[in-house]
A and B are shown apart, each in its own frame.
Chain A
Amino acid sequence: EPEVTQTPSHQVTQMGQEVILRCVPISNHLYFYWYRQILGQKVEFLVSFYNNEISEKSEIFDDQFSVERPDGSNFTLKIRSTKLEDSAMYFCASSGASGSGYEQFFGPGTRLTVL
């Protein structure tokens, strides 16, 4: 069964450093998403991406964040200058089509720890 994969599973970084979180969505999916979950809190939408551009983003997704689909398979989230409060689980998701009726499939997540 196809699945979304994410690397690394755990990333530790110093405050102010740049991190890149990587995702390989399901191969025939068209829509890609990043969510995050701070420990003990709800899953929060960050950004959606379709046709090589951002479709929608939340207020969390400020200028420190960027996404890219550098090739036909990878989908990355970059945080330029990490802050302590960026520590969270980051989940990538993909779906076949947007709108109602198409569930998003999530990867296992990357745990980001900012020291």
Chain B
Amino acid sequence: DQQVKQNSPSLSVQEGRISILNCDYTNSMFDYFLWYKKYPAEGPTFLISISSIKDKNEDGRFTVFLNKSAKHLSLHIVPSQPGDSAVYFCAAHSGTYKYIFGTGTRLKVLA
């Protein structure tokens, strides 16, 4: 039962352009969403989050959009930089103590 899905396993973007990473979920009870970035051999690093009462949250080059009716969220990175190349996971808050992660999207920013 995959409640959080990232349907694009990989994405390549030119440096300076916008990267859009997508995430879909099935459980309408999720109330908080996060994006994590992960480099090889490292743990996930928190990037940005959004509460279900909002539809947008922005932090520097990173913006997360939430469409509750579509059960869809997206992470926009603009402008994309080579250092952004990593695997990005979305995660949804479920229950009191855990987050459910998506399968990840590998972003490659081309110089």
- Counting chain A residues whose Cβ lies within 8 A of the other chain, the interface size class is 20 to 34
What residues on B are CB-neighbors of A99 within 8 Å? 93, 96
CB-based contact B89/A45 at 8 Å: no
CB-based contact B103/A33 at 8 Å: no
What residues on A are CB-neighbors of B51 within 8 Å? 100-101
Closest chain B CB from A108 CB (angstroms): 5
CB-based contact B98/A100 at 8 Å: no
Over the window 71-96 of chain B, the binary record of Cβ atoms lying under 8 Å from chain A Cβ atoms (1 yes, 0 no) is 00000000000000000010101011
Over the window 33-73 of chain A, the binary record of Cβ atoms lying under 8 Å from chain B Cβ atoms (1 yes, 0 no) is 10100000111110010100001101000000000000000
What residues on B are CB-neighbors of A58 within 8 Å? 98
CB-based contact B93/A45 at 8 Å: no
Tell me if B's interface is mostly helix, strand, loop or mixed.
strand
Q: Assuming A42-B104, A43-B89, is B42 touching A98 (CB within 8 A)? A: no
User: How far is A56 from B99 in the complex, measured between Cα atoms in Å?
Assistant: 11
CB-based contact B34/A42 at 8 Å: no
**B25 interfacial contact with A, CB 8 Å:** no
User: How far is A58 from B99 in the complex, measured between Cα atoms in Å?
Assistant: 11
Partner-A contacts on B (CB < 8 A): 31-32, 34, 36, 41-46, 49, 51, 89, 91, 93, 95-104
Partner-B contacts on A (CB < 8 A): 4, 6, 31, 33, 35, 41-45, 48, 50, 55-56, 58, 91, 93, 98-101, 103-109
